Amino acid sequence: MDILRKEGVLHVEHVKPPVSKSVENLFSVVSSLDKAIEILGKHSAEQSGQKEGKDCVKIAQNVVELDGSIKEISQRQKDVQEKITKQKVWGDFSLKDIEYLKDNGIYLKFYTCKKRT
């Protein structure tokens, strides 16, 4: 039935949808496994190093968590790169020097303005 469902030939609807914590947990587990398979499919060139006997559900959850971490780190990297790009206009300077000035009562503000034409 799964094959027919995936091919779009068969669609089964529950007359009364099952409601129980165990079914909800299974849906959650299946969702995690599906997402993990999708993520692993993207990285299929790498070997997983999986040993027999490991808990597949735990591995799937770890993969999903790691993918979330990768996305978060990528976003942070993008944010830092944008900050670097914005600050390039002032050239190279040391943050320590700016902190030294601040500690001695000298506060700097950086501005940009358009060239006069």
Tell me the per-residue pLDDT of 12-40, one tens digit each, with 9 for 90 and over: 665 665 555 666 667 777 777 777 777 77
Calculate ∠ Cα 86-88-92, nearest 5°: 140
How far apart CA 30 and CA 65 sit, in angstroms, is 15
Record the pTM: 0.43
Q: How confident is the model at residue 54 (pLDDT cuts 50, 70, 90)?
A: low
Q: Tokens representing 53?
A: 């006997």
Q: Is the pLDDT of residue 49 over 60?
A: no
For the chain, the domains span: 2-44+52-90
How far apart CA 86 and CA 99 sit, in angstroms, is 19
Over range 68-77, report the average pLDDT: 88
| Of 93, 71, 52, nearest in space to 110 by CA | 93
The confidence score (pLDDT) of residue 13 equals 63
How far apart CA 41 and CA 48 sit, in angstroms, is 11
Q: How confident is the model at residue 5 (pLDDT cuts 50, 70, 90)?
A: low
Over range 42-71, report the average pLDDT: 69
CA 99 to chain centre: 34
Q: Which residue has the tokens 């503000």?
A: 109
Answer for the pair 59, 53: CB distance below 8 angstroms, yes or no.
no
